[in-house]
Amino acid sequence: MGHLIAPSLLSADFLRLEQEIGMVNRSEADWLHLDIMDGVFVPNISFGFPVLEKIKDRVKKPMDVHLMIVEPDRYIERFREAGAGIISVHIEACSHLHRTIGHIRGTGAKAGVALNPHTPVILLKDIITDLDMVLLMSVNPGFGGQKFIPRVCSKAAELKAMISESGSKALIEVDGGVDLSNARLLLDAGVDILVAGNTVFRSDDPEATISRLKRC
């Protein structure tokens, strides 16, 4: 399987949301990434159930939902009902991570765990075989358009080794500052899924940019 591309809706033009989703549907993108922010876990608020419920019948790609919120267990069923196919929660926000992962999988969604830049991957050692995906943040979460943190490449390589040694099937996703200059470095480090926001939606030809990322 080749690597996957997941454009991040956070960087889309919300006055043209239907057209932006149409572009993603036509493109070679594999997933649509949705960042849910509550203004508590991260210092920003994005969008929630009303947006997901409106777009779920228009999106033709799996909806990859990244919960940057406190107490994610309270909302897992609602995000699944709103169309989420993949749900990722932050390790930093979960007191009982194994229970939360079981909760996600119990809804029929794929389960992911997200790590902030300062969080070491070794903390996943005892749960890695239960995960469908690990999301490594390559910026501090909360805002789009931030500068990529290069340390994530070695972090991804470390995580890839852990996955291989454990026999886990988890995929590695990276989100934050991903562009055409660092995509190949990430893929060489073992990353499976590239989340791209500004790189896609702020480009002159978003579909062509997605195609270029797909061919890195």
Whether 175 is catalytic: yes
Residue 186: the pLDDT is 98
Residue 35: the pLDDT is 96
Whether 57 is catalytic: no
Residue 141: the pLDDT is 80
C-alpha angle with apex 142: 192 to 155, nearest 5 degrees?
Answer: 35
Residue 142: the pLDDT is 72
Task: Check 30, 38, 175, 192 and give the catalytic one.
Answer: 175
* Bridge pairing between strands 32-37 and 193-196: unpaired
Residue 146: the pLDDT is 76
Inter-residue contact 184 to 213 (CB < 8 Å): no
- Which CATH number fits the domain that encloses residue 166? 3.20.20.70
Angstrom distances, CA of residue 70 to CA of 73, 101, 200: 9, 15, 29
Question: pTM for the full model?
Answer: 0.96
Residue 88 is part of which domain span? 4-214
Residue 147: the pLDDT is 86
Residue 129: the pLDDT is 98
Task: Check 30, 35, 38, 132 and give the catalytic one.
Answer: 35
| 115 φ/ψ angles, rounded to the nearest 5 degrees | -125, 130
**Full pLDDT tens readout for the chain, 216 residues:** 699 999 999 999 999 999 999 999 999 999 999 999 999 999 999 999 999 999 999 999 999 999 999 999 999 999 999 999 999 999 999 999 999 999 999 999 999 999 999 999 999 999 999 999 999 999 988 776 678 999 999 999 999 999 999 999 999 999 999 999 999 999 999 999 999 999 999 999 999 999 999 999
Please give the Cα distance from 8 to 200 (Å, whole number): 8
Number of domains in the chain: 1
Residue 196: the pLDDT is 96
